Amino acid sequence: MPHRTGTRRPGWINRALSLLLAAVLLIGAVPGLTMPASAHWADEYLNQLVDWGFMRADQIGNPDEPINRAQFVAIINRAYGYTEMGEIPFTDVSFDDWFYDEFIRQRHEPSFSGEFDAIMGAYETFNRNREFDGSPAMRFWAVSNAVDIYNVLFKGLHLVHDAERMAASGKQHRYYKDRRLAIHLMQPTEAFRQMKAKTALAQLTKGTEYYDMAFNNDFAYNDFSLIKYQPLTGYRPYAALDDAYIYCKKGEERYYVCYAKCKCERFNSKLRQDVMSFQRNYGVRLVSPFRDGRIYFESYELKELIIGVIL
């Protein structure tokens, strides 16, 4: 992906700053929050984006004009350094647009270390001491064409398992009053579904995972196979990675991963040395059972955690 030449800040700074920008665009309007009165107060920030290679000078235009979602994602993709093309799910993007071929993040491209903390830190940066001063907290709205419930925010907020159960049951809303948090799985009306089903894209992609994701609003790219609850009778403790406790069937090379705690060697997925030790001493023995369907998981969250390390 082309970048402007010149001095570049370290990658982690670029990524953190991109998250600050993301937070600004994801945080809803707040009563009492006013912007500087000058016509082009953002010039300094926009020029900095150009210097870092996130935008070109001829792409800025009028600073007072709103930025659309595709332009925003293009800037963020450049900040992250993503270079591979992924599927383009937005039907309102023209082939001639400057952001057409560079704004879709690959589905399985890993997030960088500390991404969740950076997002939360960005929110706090903008929220500052509002609540200490008696003002309402800034609202954080994360809206996405989500194709994976195992994402940075859901993992960081420990919501993956709840999102999995929502997807399985068809439940559209879940509220956490004590956490001032809500998850909404937005569904189109039946009339709108019928209209979408007649579009050229719907007819072209019918029968594919893309169709299920884009038109049925399913998490089509999440593989829920091998998710199964089973009793631990006949199983012995094997090892643990974070909250994923692994049990081995006595006398058989079968495994079960669940939340039930046990006394065993436990590793931390955030520590590189721990991950390497887990892979070397335990993970290597789980690869064949996984590929042969001889390992089950209590939840999708646990499955993604384990296979993300062993494969």
Phi, psi values for residue 96, rounded to 5°: -85, -10
Tell which wins on pLDDT, 138 or 83: 138
Question: From CA 114, how far away is CA 24, in angstroms rounded?
Answer: 19
Q: What tokens were used for 113?
A: 């270390």
Q: Indicate the pTM of the whole model.
A: 0.57
Paired strand residues for 235: 249
Mean pLDDT of the chain: 75
Are the beta carbons of 220 and 212 closer than 8 angstroms? yes
**Residue 184 CB: number of other CB atoms within 10 A?**
11
Question: CA quadruple 183, 85, 220, 284: dihedral positive or negative?
Answer: negative
**Helix and strand numbers, DSSP H then E, in the chain:** 12, 7
Supply the pLDDT for residue 27: 39
Q: What is the pLDDT of residue 287?
A: 94
Residues 6 or more apart whose CB falls under 8 angstroms from that of 61 comprise: none
Residues of the chain by 3-state class (helix, strand, coil), percent to 5? 40, 10, 50
Confidence of residue 95 (pLDDT cuts 50, 70, 90): low
Helix (H, G, I), strand (E, B) or coil at 241: strand
Most confident of 20-29, 187-196, 210-219, 221-230: 221-230
Whole-angstrom distance between the N-terminal and C-terminal Cα of the chain? 28
**DSSP state string for 249-286:** ETTSS-EEEES---SS-EE-TTSHHHHHHHHHHTGGGG
- Start-end of H helices in 87-145: 115-127
pLDDT at 108 over 80: no
**Percentage of the chain modeled with pLDDT above 70:** 69
pLDDT value for 8 = 41
Helix (H) or strand (E) holding 211: helix 209-214
- Name, of 6-20, 49-63, 116-130, the range with top average pLDDT: 116-130
Which element (helix H / strand E) includes 237? strand 235-241
The residues, ordered by sequence, that sit 6+ positions from 47 with a Cβ below 8 Å of its Cβ are: none
Q: What angle do CA 288, 290, 292 make, to 5 degrees?
A: 70
Burial class (CB in 10 A: 0-12, 13-18, 19+), 252: exposed
Residue 237's pLDDT band (cuts 50, 70, 90): very high
Q: What is the pLDDT of residue 153?
A: 85
**Average pLDDT rounded to a whole number, residues 246-257:** 92
Give the type of residue at 241. Answer: L
What whole-number distance in Å separates Cα of residue 122 and Cα of residue 17? 8
Distance (Å, rounded) from C-alpha 187 to C-alpha 172? Answer: 8
The DSSP call for residue 190 is: H
| 25 pLDDT more than 80 | no
Above 50 in pLDDT, residue 32?
Answer: no
- What's the pLDDT score for residue 194? 84
Q: How far apart are CA 53 and CA 203, in angstroms?
A: 39
Could you tell me if 154 and 163 are in contact, meaning their C-beta atoms sit under 8 angstroms apart? yes
* CA–CA gap between residue 135 and residue 32 (Å, rounded): 9
What is the mean pLDDT of the segment spanning 193-211? 85
* Res. 20: pLDDT tops 50: no
**Domain extents for the chain?**
1-143, 235-310
